[in-house]
Structure formats: C-alpha cells, structure tokens
Chain A
Amino acid sequence: MDWHILAQQLVNGLTLGSIYGLIAIGYTMVYGIIGMINFAHGDVYMVSAYLTAIAIAVLTGFGIDSAPFAIVITLALTMFITGVYGWSIERVAYRPLRGSTRLAPLISAIGISLVLQNYVQLSQGAKPQGVPTLVSGTVRLGTETNFVQMTYIQILIVVVSFAAMAALTWIIRSTSLGRQCRATQQDRKMAAILGIDTDRIISTVFVIGAAMAAIAGVLVTLNYGSFDFFIGFVTGIKAFTAAVLGGIGSLPGAMLGGILLGLFESLFSGFVNTDYKDVFSFALLVLVLIFRPSGLLGRPEVEKV
C-alpha cells in the first residue's frame, strides 16, 4: 500500500465527509427538536443545487466575474431561499399534523419530497444541469509520480464546512437562541411556560437545517458542476446514515458521523471497490441501527418518566 494513495483517499474522504456532515445537521436537529425524521431534507439539498445554478447564471448575466464575490453572493442567496423552503416544509407537512399519529408527518414529508422532485423536474427539465467552473487549480504535495493533491474547491469545501459547523456550534452553545433551542429540545412544554415561543424555535431549526444543506448544495455544485433532480435521494440517505452513525439528535455527532462516513466511503472506494461504495454505506447504516442505535455520541433513548 502506497502512503500517497492512502493520504489521497483521506483528503477525498474529508471533503466528502464535510458535505455529509453539513446535510446531517438538518436531520439531527429536526429529530432532536420534534423527534421525527425530515424525509424531504435530501430534496431541500437538491433544490439548493438548482438555486446555485440560477444564482450563478444571474450573476454572470450581470457581468460579475470575480469568483470570491460570486461565491459569497451565491451562498447567501441560496441559503436564504433554501431556508424559506425549510420553513415552508415545517408549516405545510409538520405543524398541521402535530398531535396526530407519529406516522402522519412522515408520510406528508415523503409527499413533499415527491412534490419537490417533480416540481423541479417539470420546471427545470429532467436532463442533468451544469454550472461553469468558477474556481480551478490544485495544491500538490509529493514527488512527480507520488503525490497527494487537493483542488482549491476541495479546500474551499473543507474550510467553509468547518467554519459553518463552528459557527453553528457557537450559536447553539452560547447564544440565547441556542439555549432556547436546547430548552425546547429537552422539555418543550416547560420551555413554553418559561416564555419561549416554541413554534418559532421549531421553525428556526428547520431553517437552520435547510441553510446548512444549502451550503453543502452550493459547494457540491461548484465542485462537480453537474446535478439532476434526483441527487437528493442518495445523498440524503448518506447524510441520514451519518446522522445515525454520530447519534441522531446530537449536533457534534452529526458532524463526526459525516466526516467518518466520508472517510470510510473513500477508503472503501480506494482500496476495495468503487462500485459498491453506496452498498457499503447502507450496510453500515443497517449495522449501526442493529448494534448501536444511539450512535457514537447519542444518548440511549430513555423513556421520560
């Protein structure tokens, strides 16, 4: 085994894992606060890829050719509009069904997922879409034949993802909004009695989750350049796997689970088989669910007394 192949797979895995981590945050925070999986979350990510393409097209139309400026504006716009999608999903699919059976909102969320896929397919076409390359270039380490490389976009992905995760961690730990989120998560009824508008907090959590997925959507789109209306499905399940691996409901768990899944997956593709990497991830999901359903950092589900 050559060290540079291993190192290259670790670099690739870190990049991929950052993306999984960003999307996993939405699953884990929503689960933490309402105890349910947002099955439309993968499609929110998909929508953000299209919004990225639209934003870049509009900016190019205005003749903006500074890449950093275009990326910052694209991130801001996409996070905002995707956040509106997240907010709407809670309003349409979850809030009206609060207090009914646990299954009902899951079914309505799957409904939203199908609506989003079909709406994007109809309005944007079924063919894969693409965006022009905004950033190119790589950093190389090593000799002429044995080297590890990281593209500028990969560096951007890792830096932006870690910055976003650090910012979110700070918000949840140290701000009043973060404390209100944690209070609502731990004891919703008591939170309301203390004066917290828990409906607003639940909406905020959906918006945060969607905005994090939007960061992932922008970064992936800048990296791969092409996408279609179905990308939310597989990536969504992967990110969900990451959230379960880290311990669903746990914010650091989602980040850790994302990074680990990315690393496992690229090591598997590098040293075992590329075609079976999705199978590997889903097998991992099944194994975690069987042997450690509370994940690495989650707490075992304890019935409240």
Chain B
Amino acid sequence: MSQQTRTPADAIPQPLLDVRGIDTFYGAIQALRGVSLHVSRGEIVTLIGANGAGKTTLLGSIFGNPRASVGSVSFDGEDITTLATHRIAPRGIALVPEGRHIFPAMTVEENLVMGTIPVGEAHLDEDRAQMFELFPRLQERRNQRAGTLSGGEQQMLAIARALMSRPQLILLDEPSLGLAPLVVRRIFEVLREIASLGKTIFLVEQNANHALKLADRAYVLVNGEIRLQGSGRELLADPEVRKAYLGGH
C-alpha cells in the first residue's frame, strides 16, 4: 500500500459523518446533550449505552426525525442538519432501525426493492443476487410475506434492504436485540463481511462485548451525553465500561 492511504484516521481532515454538539428534544424532554462524534471512511465505530441513553434518538437525529435543535450533522462535507428525512438516504446513508421495521405485508423481494429508492432499479438484479448470497435464507423465502419471517430473518432482511441502496455509511440500531446467541454471532460475522466490502459502519449496541470487539473505535453514551471514547480495545479494558456494560467482571 502507498504511504498516503495509510494516513491514520485521526489525521483525515474530513470525516464521512460528523456530528457536532447536537441537542435533541422530545417536547420538553431533552434526549441528547451536546453530542459530538465522527465516523471516518472505512471505519467501524460503535456507540454503547444503557436503555434510554439516547442511542436511537441519535440515529434519528441523523435522519432529521427527531431533528436536532442545536448543533450540526454533516455527511461527506455537506451539512445535512435541516434536510428533509427522505433526502438523507440519497446522500448515501442507510439505517437498519431498532425493531427492524420491515414492511410486514410485503414479500421479502418487495422489501429488498424498497431499499433501491435512492439509486433506482438499474442494479436491482445484481444487488439482489449479492444479498441472497450473503443471506441464503432470504432467497429461500423470497416470495414469503416478510411479517411471517422469524426475528433473525427479519433482521437479515432489514440489513439487506439497507444495503440495496448502495450506501457509503450504514447505521445499525441494536441489530442483535432479542436474538439467540448463534444468530447474534451470524449478524456480527455479516457486519464484518459488509465492512470488507468497503462500507463504513456505525453500530449502536447494548451488546457491548461483541460490539467493542468488532469496532475500530467506540463511544459510550450516558443520559444523552458522550461519557467516554476510545478504541474498541481500550473501552473493552476500561473498568467503568466493564462494570456497567460487561456484567461487572
């Protein structure tokens, strides 16, 4: 590799995603307090935090729903803070939301097609074939109503749908929630594969053990504020993190 491409992430002048000092409210309730974080191209970054810390709100604020009232969100150098929600995906960001939010009355195939809205259907066949390779289960069930899939299959579908928009950055909100250990392991394997395809990943998790092992860097969110940050390895070793998120050993 040439010397230029080995520049350390911190020295890259412009991160792919740059969140600066955002406050987000639900009515009078403040869910985020001056949150700043960044994700550089090619990185896997994770955000861990307890229930109600504001993780889902943070991902929502990247999509303008709920919208941050203070601070800014930039993507690839463009300020997207005030962009309408439906204009975010075409910029190259995809979300795998908490609770999957697949379209239950549509077939698996139709759900995949819904992912292509930002890029059109020109690459549909090629990308769908790639998704079926990544998730053979989805191919078997391609004409089945998505609402009848198992939880793990729905999670796979939500990830595949997000990838269908050919995003640069993929945001995932607790993809391992409520899944059996074997399925969780498969999900994290898939995330590694996605990263190897050149995608940038921002992963929100309560499953700190898996997430920190996967991540290049990590943030800890407590009560709407960033409490800690560092490499995945550093946080895995941090006594405070171990106590709060890794079962106290």
Do the two chains bind? Answer: yes
Contact surface of A with B, Cβ cutoff 8 Å: 176, 179-180, 182-183, 186-187, 189-198
Give residues in B with beta carbon < 8 Å to A. Answer: 63, 65, 84-90, 95, 97, 101, 103-106, 110, 113-115, 117-118, 121, 161, 165
* CB–CB A194/B89 < 8 A: yes
Inter-subunit contact A186/B113 (CB<8 Å): no
If A193-B95, A195-B90 touch, does A182 touch B105 (CB 8 Å cutoff)? yes
**8 residue pairs from A and B, CB less than 8 Å apart:** A179-B110, A182-B106, A186-B104, A186-B106, A189-B65, A193-B63, A196-B86, A197-B86
Query: Smallest CB–CB gap between B95 and chain A, Å?
Result: 5
In the bound complex, residues from chain B placing their C-beta under 8 Å from that of A194 are: 89, 114-115, 117-118, 161, 165
In the complex, how many residue pairs between chain A and chain B have their CB atoms under 8 Å apart? 56
Residues of B within 8 A of A190 (CB): 97, 101, 103
Option from A180, A186, A187, A193 in Cβ contact (under 8 Å) with B85: A193
* CB <8 Å contact, A192 and B86: yes
Asked if B89 and A195 sit within 8 Å, CB to CB, the answer is yes
Known: A189-B65, A196-B117. 4 other contacts (CB 8 A): A176-B121, A192-B85, A193-B85, A197-B86
In the complex the two chains form, what is the Cα distance from A180 to B121 in whole Å? Answer: 14
**Which among A179, A187, A192 is the interface contact of B113 at CB below 8 angstroms?**
A179
Bound-state Cα–Cα, A25 to B161, Å: 30
Q: Does B114 contact A183, Cβ atoms closer than 8 Å?
A: yes
Whether B86 pairs with A198 at a CB distance below 8 angstroms is: yes
Query: How many angstroms from the CA of A183 to the CA of B101 in the assembled complex?
Result: 11
User: For B115, what are the chain A residues with a Cβ–Cβ distance below 8 Å?
Assistant: 194
Interface of B is mostly: loop
* CB-nearest residue of chain A to B171: A193
Given contacts A186-B104, A187-B103, contact A193 B114 (CB under 8 A): no
Q: Across the A-B interface, give the 9 residue pairs with the lowest CB-CB distance, nearest first.
A: A195-B89, A195-B117, A190-B101, A192-B85, A195-B118, A192-B86, A186-B103, A197-B86, A194-B117
List chain B residues, Cβ under 8 A from A193. Answer: 63, 65, 85-86, 88-89, 95, 97
CB contacts (< 8 Å) of B90 on chain A: these are 195
Are B97 and A195 neighbours in the complex by a CB distance under 8 Å? no
What is the distance, in angstroms, from A294's C-beta to the closest C-beta of chain B?
A: 15
Contacts of A176 in B (CB 8 A): 121
Chain A residues positioned under 8 Å from B161 (CB to CB): 194
Residue of B101, B118, B161 ringed by the most chain A CB atoms within 10 A:
B101
Please measure, in the bound complex, the distance between the C-alpha atom of A183 and the C-alpha atom of B63, giving whole angstroms. 18
Q: Considering only CB atoms, which chain A residue lies closest to B104 in the complex? A: A186
Contacts of A191 in B (CB 8 A): 114
Contact A183 B103 (CB under 8 A): yes
Known contacts A186-B105, A187-B103, A193-B95, A179 near B89 by CB under 8 Å: no
Most buried by A among B85, B95, B161: B85
Residue of B nearest to A190 (CB): B101
User: With A and B bound together, what is the CA distance between A176 and B87 in angstroms?
Assistant: 18
B95 closest partner in A (C-beta): A193
Give Cα A198–Cα B161 distance, bound, in whole angstroms: 18
Whether A195 touches B104, Cβ cut-off 8 Å, given contacts A179-B113, A179-B114, is: no
B147–chain A nearest beta-carbon distance, Å = 9
Q: How far is the CA of A30 from the CA of B177 in the complex (A)?
A: 35
**What residue of chain B has the Cβ atom nearest to residue A182's Cβ?**
B106
User: In the docked arrangement, what's the CA distance between A191 and B101, Å?
Assistant: 10
Chain A proximity of B150: nearest CB distance (Å): 17
Please give, as numbers and ranges, the residues of chain A lying within 8 Å of B106 by CB-CB distance: 179, 182-183, 186
Contact A192 B65 (CB under 8 A): yes
Of residues B65, B87, B105, which shows the largest number of chain A Cβ atoms within 10 Å of its Cβ? B105
CA distance A192 to B165 in the complex (A): 13
Chain B residues lying within 8 Å of A196, measured Cβ to Cβ, are: 86, 117
Taken together as a complex, chains A and B put the C-alpha atoms of A7 and B113 apart, in Å, by 46
* Across-interface contacts of A189 in B (CB, < 8 A): 65, 101
Residues of B contacting A180 with CB < 8 Å?
117
In this complex, what residue of B is CB-closest to A197?
A: B86
Q: Please tell me if the beta carbons of B101 and A187 are within 8 angstroms of each other in the complex.
A: yes
Q: What is the distance, in angstroms, from A202's C-beta to the closest C-beta of chain B?
A: 12
Chain A min CB distance to B249 (Å): 34
